[in-house]
């Protein structure tokens, strides 16, 4: 797929989202933009800061992602028990959008206009968040740490209130393809991807590493159709040996399971958005999941589930105490990591935070996060991570293999990981 076609698809999707958002704004009473200098900003009292998120608690993406907001809530409960941030507890309102963009528009409007949240934090999904991107920026609501690797979030001039969290899909596609080229030269590399920016940008990254004709075959799917038999059959017929996946967890499992039914067992290389091992085993079943996932390769930029990192140990303790003993997986680490980053930004925003001071804190470049690479936020860059590590499953343990890639000057290069150490028991400012 050409970069021209990719850009054209992205422009069309954003244009449609803008039209819908403008219509939504026109038919409702807009929230007061920015901060009111005569009083505290929306969502801030002497004792609380209220933030909100949209996420799929039901629908096709729920099983893969509902645990993220639960983990973030658990971290905030832990943080509040330590005194919160500058003496304020964080109240986190999570609303279900079912991974449906139309529902996302409704629940985000409720969060902004009825719940009067200080910020939207970690709204999940490429098609879903695209549908509210213009609305949030027009109403000057901080739109922080979007749970998607779309490059749409990294447009400071067009969307000054929006910052991403995930490593972007171009970076992930480039890293996966480069790792395939480095470790299995000559093998046929193919791609199965969601039919939106997720798939487009993973293709763009893969072609950056492999060249415009480097992918042997590409197949696309829609999340509204949970049957990829035709796509898997076409990949098999093309002789694919390594399949890159721009898939959410449910479709990663669906692809691997469908291939196994064909008696076909290629190598699978997945974006971090669909690479959580415990979640995939949950879909595939304890009997066959571990066998089908042996050697499964993914990307990551946060502490690894299978590692002995201090962050992971802390998050396990928080999960046990504040998350009703929920299963601990990569989504747990993700949810607590993004919650910690918001707490760090809020602490840096000062004792009397405003929406502008919160945005200034993120843009300052001083936030550390807890990733394996430094955060990239600045006034010019609204992307969090510009590189990723490669993870692999071995005997049921998912951990880094020691290869970390970034895009520098248009080239895919291997870089050294520099994990951020745990400090202050995971409580910013302590």
pLDDT tens digits for 136-152? 999 999 999 999 999 99
Query: Whole-angstrom distance between the N-terminal and C-terminal Cα of the chain?
Result: 49
Percent above pLDDT 90 for the chain: 87
The confidence band for 38, taking pLDDT boundaries of 50, 70 and 90, is: low
Instruction: State yes or no: pLDDT of 14 exceeds 60.
Output: no
Mean pLDDT of 222-226: 91
CA distances from 222 to 17, 24, 44, 202, 251 (A): 18, 25, 40, 15, 10
Those residues whose C-beta lies under 8 Å from the C-beta of residue 108, and which sit 6 or more positions away, are 52, 54, 95, 120, 123, 132, 135, 136
Q: For residue 269, give the nearest of 347, 187, 336 by alpha carbon.
A: 187
Domains of the chain plus CATH, in order, are 7-168+309-385 (3.40.50.2300), 169-305+390-414 (3.40.50.2300)
Write out the DSSP string of 116-134: --SEEE--B-HHHHHTTHH
How much of the chain, in percent, has pLDDT values that exceed 70?
91
Cβ(251)–Cβ(276) below 8 Å: no
State the average pLDDT for the chain.
Answer: 92
pLDDT digits (tens, 9 = 90+) for 56-109: 999 878 987 999 999 999 999 999 999 999 999 999 999 999 999 999 999 999
Tens of pLDDT, residues 244-291: 999 999 999 999 999 999 999 999 999 999 999 999 999 999 999 999
d(CA 104, CA 58): 13
Banded model confidence at residue 1, pLDDT cuts 50, 70, 90: very low
Q: Is the pLDDT of residue 55 over 50?
A: yes
- Cα distances (Å, whole numbers) of residue 261 to 32, 228, 256, 265, 292: 55, 12, 9, 10, 11
pLDDT at 307 (0 to 100): 80
Give the integer Cα–Cα distance in Å for 289 and 284: 5
Backbone angles phi, psi at 38, to 5 degrees: -85, -5
Q: What is the pLDDT of residue 135?
A: 98
The arithmetic mean of pLDDT across residues 10-20, rounded, is 41
**Residue 93 near residue 161 (C-beta atoms within 8 A):** no
**How many CB atoms are closer than 10 A to CB 380?**
11
Q: Are strands 119-121 and 48-55 parallel, antiparallel or unpaired?
A: parallel
Nearest one of 54, 101, 58 to 197, comparing CA atoms:
101
pLDDT at site 178 = 98
Per-residue confidence (pLDDT) for residue 63, from 0 to 100: 83
- Provide the whole-model pTM: 0.87
Residue 176 in contact with residue 297, Cβ under 8 Å? yes
């Amino acid at each position: 797929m050409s970069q021209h076609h990719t850009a054209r698809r992205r422009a069309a999707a954003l244009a449609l989202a803008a039209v819908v958002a403008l219509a939504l704004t026109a038919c409702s009473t807009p929230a007061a933009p920015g901060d009111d200098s005569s009083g505290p900003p929306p969502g801030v009292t002497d004792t609380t800061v209220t933030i909100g998120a949209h996420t799929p608690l039901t629908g096709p993406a729920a099983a893969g992602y509902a645990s993220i907001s639960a983990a973030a809530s658990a971290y905030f409960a832990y943080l509040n028990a330590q005194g919160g941030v500058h003496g304020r507890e964080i109240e986190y309102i999570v609303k279900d959008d079912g991974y449906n963009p139309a529902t996302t528009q409704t629940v985000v409007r409720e969060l902004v206009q009825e719940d009067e949240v200080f910020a939207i934090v970690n709204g999940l999904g490429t098609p879903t968040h695209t549908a509210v991107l213009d609305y949030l920026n027009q109403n000057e609501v901080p739109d922080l740490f979007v749970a998607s690797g779309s490059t749409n979030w990294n447009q400071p001039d067009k969307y000054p209130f929006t910052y991403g969290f995930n490593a972007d899909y171009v970076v992930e596609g480039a890293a996966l393809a480069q790792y395939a080229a480095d470790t299995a030269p000559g093998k046929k590399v193919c791609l199965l991807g969601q039919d939106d920016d997720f798939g487009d940008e993973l293709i763009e990254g893969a072609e950056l590493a492999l060249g415009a004709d480097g992918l042997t075959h590409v197949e696309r799917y829609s999340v509204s159709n949970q049957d990829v038999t035709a796509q898997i059959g076409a990949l098999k017929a093309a002789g694919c040996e390594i399949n890159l996946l721009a898939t959410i967890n449910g479709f990663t499992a669906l692809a691997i399971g469908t291939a196994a039914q064909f008696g076909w067992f290629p190598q699978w290389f997945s974006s971090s958005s669909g690479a959580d091992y415990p979640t995939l085993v949950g879909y595939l079943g304890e009997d066959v999941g571990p066998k089908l996932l042996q050697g499964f390769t993914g990307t990551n930029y946060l502490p690894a589930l299978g590692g002995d990192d201090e962050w992971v140990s802390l998050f396990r303790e928080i999960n046990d105490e504040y998350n009703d003993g929920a299963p601990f997986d990569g989504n747990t680490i993700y949810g607590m990591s993004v919650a910690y980053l918001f707490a760090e930004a809020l602490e840096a925003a000062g004792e009397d935070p405003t929406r502008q001071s919160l945005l200034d804190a993120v843009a300052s470049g001083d936030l550390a996060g807890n990733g394996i690479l430094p955060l990239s936020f600045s006034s010019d860059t609204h992307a969090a991570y510009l590189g990723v590590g490669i993870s692999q499953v071995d005997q049921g343990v998912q951990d880094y293999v020691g290869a970390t890639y970034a895009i520098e000057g248009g080239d895919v290069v291997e870089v050294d990981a520099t994990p951020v150490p745990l400090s202050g028991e995971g409580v910013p400012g302590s």
